[in-house]
Amino acid sequence: MHDRSLEVRVWVAALSFQSEFYVRLNRALMRECGLTLAKYDFLAQIYGVDDGLTLGELTRKLKVTGGNVTGLGKRLVADGLVTREASPTDRRSFIARITQKGSEAFEAARAYHDSLVDDWLGESVPEGNLETTLASLEMLRTALGRKGKANGK
């Protein structure tokens, strides 16, 4: 078998870690808080934003399609966690705002989310290694950004 480059092995390791972590965290949040990570992320973006965010802004922040944001928004409205109103300045745009019930659900989910992440990483990986990993990931993201700009992408 042909050996893969170190760069490709780093990429595959990052994807594998993200995938496993996401699945475990999604399952735990759903079981304990009744929120998927997608709903949690949506609420995280509008939490504390009094004027709310347009669905277009949410699409950019969440890095998903408009259809995904629209569907998530509808489910969160049905759950009573979010309101969705037409924009007063653009009839084609809608603004999502978190409700009191949504704020309470998000705060509880955030506390649980953070405790799980602290537990899973804090117990397994020494703090110095976490700091090194964080610095490495930030460096990789920065380098990728520079490469994208240099290539016109």
CB within 8 Å of 56: residues ≥ 6 apart:
66, 93
CA–CA separation, 111 vs 34, rounded Å?
14
The sheet with strand 53-54 has its strands ordered as: 53-54, 94-98, 82-86
- pTM of the prediction? 0.84
- CATH number of the domain residue 90 falls in: 1.10.10.10
> pLDDT-derived band of residue 58, with 50, 70 and 90 as boundaries?
very high
**Count of structural domains, the chain:** 1
pLDDT of residue 148: 67
Contact 11, 18 (CB under 8 A): no
pLDDT of residue 36: 95
pLDDT of residue 122: 87
Residue 150 lies in a domain: no
Residue 142 lies in a domain: no
Residue 47 lies in a domain: yes
Residue 19 lies in a domain: yes
Residue 130 lies in a domain: no
Could you tell me the residue range of the domain that residue 11 belongs to?
6-122
Percent of the chain with pLDDT over 70: 95
From 14, 11, 37, select the one nearest 24 (Cα to Cα). Answer: 37
CA–CA separation, 42 vs 84, rounded Å?
13
Q: Is pLDDT at 106 greater than 60 in this prediction? A: yes
Q: Is pLDDT at 73 greater than 70 in this prediction? A: yes
